[in-house]
Amino acid sequence: MRYPHDIPSSEITPKSLYLSRRELIAGTAAMLAGTTALTGGSAHAAPLAAAKSPLSTDEPQTRRADAVSYNNFYEFGTDKADPEKNAGSLKTSPWNVKIDGLVEKPGTYAYDDIVKPSGLEERIYRLRCVEAWSMVIPWIGFPLADLLKRVEPKSNAKFVAFETLVRPEEMPGQRGLLQALPWPYVEGLRLDEAMHPLTILAVGMYGETLPNQCGAPIRLVVPWKYGYKSIKSIVRISLVEKQPPTSWSLQNPSEYGFFSNVNPAVDHPRWSQASERRIGEGTGLFQKRRPTLMFNGYAEQVASLYTGMDLRVNH
């Protein structure tokens, strides 16, 4: 796979905004250290400035209008249009993330302490993302590994567990008798997966801060796995020794495994995963389908993580 270095200038934030952002970061004293901040981050203003990542694909990106209006975020409803319609009620500032478990520096960290530590540079990652459909989205974020290194995982940490916000007064899918899932939504990765440079914490997309319906203010993006692994609106990250539970595996273990790697050779029990449709490429009878790529096209980068594993069993 190629690592292109030619993101069009239209996708790069103007230099004046980029420089002002760098000045802000340079002047931020909030760092992940022994003392944690409990006061919450400042309002998350748009636009965001970021440099390109060499890990970006050169495939045409999905239209922003499609990416922000067609989502799975069951906390706001089960229809693909529900998150955009209902997520305006979510308050994303102040925002804190609890980091605990097998780390040397546990604590409750404010949003700014996580995304603006000294020396951190957010980048644009134009990445393929796939569920039953696929998109190519220019995320703005930074490697999860950068954060994990700052809190210093202990030697017996083997997995990273994640948890989404529970706030039913703002998330209509979390209230009422007929709820799609038990809350909070939880997910997990092996530590080596979490430390891979393609595993990012995203805080923006399309040059702006994340829209609420896309996981604001901070979400995971793991592009070689199915989209439900990329947990949204994160409020807790835990380093643990044993494999953590995940929401869809708890809900239906016969259909959803822990790893959830994109694998065209392993069908979902109710449909084939050998092909996919990309949002924006036709509609109805004219909807194009394309072959699903192993690891969503990132095999060169991540296949070594699974050497010796039976990926039909460990799906």
pLDDT digit string, tens, across residues 184-229 = 999 999 999 999 999 999 999 999 999 999 999 999 999 999 999 9
Percent of the chain with pLDDT over 90: 66
Q: How confident is the model at residue 289 (pLDDT cuts 50, 70, 90)?
A: confident
H/E element holding 101?
strand 96-101
Q: Is the confidence at residue 43, as pLDDT, over 50? A: no
49 — pLDDT class (breaks 50, 70, 90): confident
Residue 139's contacts (CB-CB under 8 Å, 6 or more residues apart) are 124, 125, 126, 127, 200, 202, 204, 205, 221
- Residue 261: name the closest of 189, 208, 201 by CA: 189
Structure tokens at 137: 């989205």
Residue 46 confidence class, pLDDT cut points 50, 70, 90:
low
- A 10 A CB-CB count for 21 gives 18
Section 6-10 average pLDDT? 35
Cα–Cα distance for residue pair 301/99, rounded to 1 Å: 28
Asked whether the predicted pLDDT for residue 177 surpasses 50, the reply is yes
What structural domains does the chain harbor?
9-262+296-306 (3.90.420.10)
Q: pLDDT tens, 232-282?
A: 999 999 999 999 999 999 999 989 999 999 999 998 888 888 999 899 887
pLDDT band for position 120 (50/70/90)? low
Residue 294 has pLDDT above 70, yes or no: yes
pLDDT at site 21: 36
Lowest mean pLDDT of 2-16, 139-153, 173-187, name the range: 2-16
pLDDT tens per residue across span 151-169: 999 999 999 999 999 999 9
Region 76-95: what's the mean pLDDT?
96
pLDDT in the model for residue 18: 33
Q: Chain-wide mean pLDDT for the chain? A: 84
Contact, 87 vs 80, CB < 8 A?
no
Q: Residue 187 has what pLDDT?
A: 98
Instruction: Please tell me the distance from the alpha carbon of residue 229 to that of residue 251, in angstroms, as a whole number.
Output: 14
∠ CA 232-182-70, rounded to 5°: 40
Dist CA 95 CA 302 (whole Å): 32
Over 80: is that where the pLDDT of 6 sits?
A: no
Q: What is the mean pLDDT of residues 169-187?
A: 94
Alpha carbon distance, N-terminus to C-terminus of the chain: 23
- Answer left, alpha or beta for residue 77, where phi above 0 means left and psi between -120 and 50 means alpha: left
Give residue 214's pLDDT.
97
What does the pLDDT average to over 112-139? 84
Q: How far apart are CA 180 and CA 203, in angstroms?
A: 26
Share of the chain above pLDDT 70, in %: 83
